[in-house]
């Protein structure tokens, strides 16, 4: 989860002066970040914003396969010889390697909002329930009959939900993934997803109830978990669900009560 990645980068680099920096990305290869001090890394949805003391921000996005790894400076892995390494930030004790990153930008910190302006509210932001939720619900309403699985993955509605918590939140609420969004209680589903994600941040990721469990029995009813597809190519993503617990026509309508027994 991105917040754990941000915390790992902060533990390694925040408040530290960079002794080595290498951005292996078109247009950024000549950028010089050495001798700059890292202030902190902040997540927004699926984006990471690493702010520096010279008023610049290194923006990264992991996409599907990217990862930031922290290794000891001077270790063999810190040499970063792999062509999959897209970014390297090192102080005298720790080296952060951005591997298979999907996006990398270097912008003025005052302009970083332009990178995320198109996104909905961050579901894990501390202010989400005080303003962000209402904005997300308004964006949700504009999606009308779009399948709820597509809406949960649409970062323009709410930022931060991926395939894991798409599946787990709909399973918790017993909602068929292809239910039209305007037939679902948006606030309830979003708060369920937020709670599940907060628990993962606090405790570490644990085994899911349905995600990546296609062919295995549903932990609630024993029916075989199915796998389907959300969104259209080239943005399709896997969806896992129980065809009994989440049968078509089930869901939490506004004002209704869903059975959430596990």
List pLDDT tens digits, range 28-52. Answer: 999 999 999 999 999 998 899 999 9
CATH at 67: 3.20.190.10
Q: Do the domain assignments include residue 60? A: yes
pTM, two decimal places: 0.81
Cα distance between residue 161 and residue 223, in whole Å: 26
Tell me, yes or no, whether 96 and 134 share the same domain: no
Whether residues 27 and 94 fall in one domain? yes
* Residues of the domain holding 89: 2-116
Spatial separation of the C-alpha atoms in residues 230 and 169, rounded to whole Å? 15
> Does one domain contain both 15 and 110?
yes
Strand 47-52: give its sheet, edge to edge.
38-44, 47-52, 56-61, 103-108
User: Does 108 share its domain with 158?
Assistant: no
**pLDDT at position 201, please?**
87
Regarding whether 147 and 59 lie in a shared domain, the answer is no
| Total number of domains constituting the chain | 2
**109 shares its domain with 137:** no
CA dist 159 and 162 (Å) reads 9
Query: pLDDT tens across 60-85, in order?
Result: 998 878 999 999 999 999 999 999 99
Q: What is the DSSP string of 199-255?
A: HHHHH-----SSTT-TTSBPTTT-PBPEEEEES-TTS-EEEEE-TTTT-TT----TT
Instruction: Please report whether residue 253 resides in a domain.
Output: no
203 and 231 together in one domain: yes
112 and 32 in one domain? yes
The CATH number of residue 185's host domain is 1.10.8.50
**Residue 249 pLDDT grade (very low, low, confident, very high; cuts 50, 70, 90):** confident
């Amino acid at each position: 989860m991105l917040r754990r990645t941000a915390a790992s980068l902060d533990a390694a680099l925040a408040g530290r002066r960079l002794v080595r920096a290498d951005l292996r990305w078109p247009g950024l290869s000549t950028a010089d970040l050495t001798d700059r001090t890292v202030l902190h890394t902040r997540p927004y949805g699926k984006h990471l914003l690493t702010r520096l003391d010279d008023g610049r921000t290194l923006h990264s996005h992991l996409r599907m396969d990217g990862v930031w790894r922290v290794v000891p400076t001077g270790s063999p892995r810190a040499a970063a010889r792999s062509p999959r390494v897209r970014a390297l930030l090192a102080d005298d004790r720790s080296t952060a390697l951005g591997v298979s990153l999907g996006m990398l930008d270097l912008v003025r910190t005052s302009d970083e909002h332009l990178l995320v302006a198109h996104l909905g509210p961050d579901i894990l932001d501390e202010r989400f329930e005080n303003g962000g939720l209402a904005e997300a619900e308004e964006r949700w309403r504009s999606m009308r009959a779009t399948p709820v699985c597509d809406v949960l993955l649409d970062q323009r509605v709410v930022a931060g939900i991926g395939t894991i918590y798409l599946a787990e939140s709909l399973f918790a609420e017993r909602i068929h993934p292809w239910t039209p969004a305007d037939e679902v209680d948006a606030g309830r589903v979003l708060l369920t997803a937020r709670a599940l994600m907060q628990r993962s941040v606090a405790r570490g990721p644990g085994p899911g109830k349905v995600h990546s469990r296609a062919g295995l029995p549903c932990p609630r009813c024993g029916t075989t978990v199915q796998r389907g597809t959300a969104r259209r190519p080239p943005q399709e993503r896997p969806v896992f669900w129980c065809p009994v617990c989440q049968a078509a026509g089930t869901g939490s309508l506004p004002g209704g009560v869903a059975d959430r027994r596990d």
